[in-house]
Structure 1
């Protein structure tokens, strides 16, 4: 990750943080380098970070990291208060999005929260430009699959979730969605 990638990552985490209850057990899907757990620190009880491209991450009390894919590599008996998918959903193909929402419904406790950050489609052109000039790493831009952000509410709402909050941030280029598990 380059410096601008880290700034944008911290910004996404800062937007998500108010929706993650103190003492929560968190599943961070697409955890990258474990930054969410580092930024939240002792504010949460712990949880699991999962990412197929997981690199070296510092050990943290109560946090386990898995190099793998969600939901296949999460135990069937695992339960969480919060699931985060920050800059992840747009990387999934349509069928994988539906499967991920269904899996979130299974691993979240009743009343649990799904927090997502999903960029606007027009951000792809900007990220390609920033990657060309070396300001961002352009991680996995080829995986965006032309995802239309406006579909997020309908896809997640088709599962056992109610939309609690939707707001735009990062100059209107990103969206925060907060859903509660029924």
Structure 2
């Protein structure tokens, strides 16, 4: 990761952390190397992370990380009160997103929260330029497929989630969605 990649990642983490209640159990889908959990510090009760690019599995006193794809490789039955997907959903084909939403609903406690960050559609052009200039590594740009952030409330709504908040950040290049499990 370049300095700019890390900076953008930290901005997403900071935005998500605002919505995570203190003492939460958190599942971070696309956890990278566990940066979200480290940033949460004592605010985190326990965290589980999954990422297909994880270099090695990690287990600490308050979080563990496993290599794999969600939900296919997820083996932990624990209920969590918060699920995060930071810069993840735009890499997942629309047909698989409904399965992810249903699995998230099964893993969340009643009134549990999902925090999702996704780039705005205009972001891909900027990221492609930054990649050509070697200012970023690319953040798997080849997996972006023209994802429409406006689809999130409908996809997750079918699985029992209600949209609590949506806002843009980073000059409108990123979106954060906060959804609550309602049944």
TM-score w.r.t. the length of structure 1 is 0.95
Aligned to 1:144: 144
Q: 1: distance between equivalents of 2:58 and 2:52?
A: 17
In the TM superposition, what are the counterparts of 1:13-92 in structure 2 within 5 Å? 13-56=13-56, 59-75=59-75, 77-92=77-92
Q: 1: distance between equivalents of 2:77 and 2:60?
A: 22
Alpha-carbon shift at residue 172 of structure 1 (Å): 0.3
What RMSD over aligned residues (CA atoms) do the two structures have, in Å? 1.3
Structure 1: gaps (5+ residues): none
Alpha-carbon shift at residue 75 of structure 1 (Å): 2.6
Q: 2: distance between equivalents of 1:57 and 1:177?
A: 28
Q: 2: distance between equivalents of 1:172 and 1:88?
A: 18
Q: 2: distance between equivalents of 1:81 and 1:27?
A: 8
- 1:9 paired with 2:9, answer yes
TM-score w.r.t. the length of structure 2 is 0.95
Structure 2: gaps (5+ residues): none
In the TM superposition, what are the counterparts of 1:113-152 in structure 2 within 5 Å? 113-152=113-152
- The number of residue pairs the alignment matches comes to 182
Runs of 4+ in 1 over 4 A off after TM superposition: 56-59
Aligned to 2:176: 176
Q: 2: distance between equivalents of 1:53 and 1:29?
A: 12
Q: 2: distance between equivalents of 1:128 and 1:92?
A: 19
**Is the 1:90–1:144 Cα contact (8 Å) retained in structure 2?**
yes
**Is the 1:114–1:180 Cα contact (8 Å) retained in structure 2?**
yes
Q: 2: distance between equivalents of 1:70 and 1:82?
A: 15
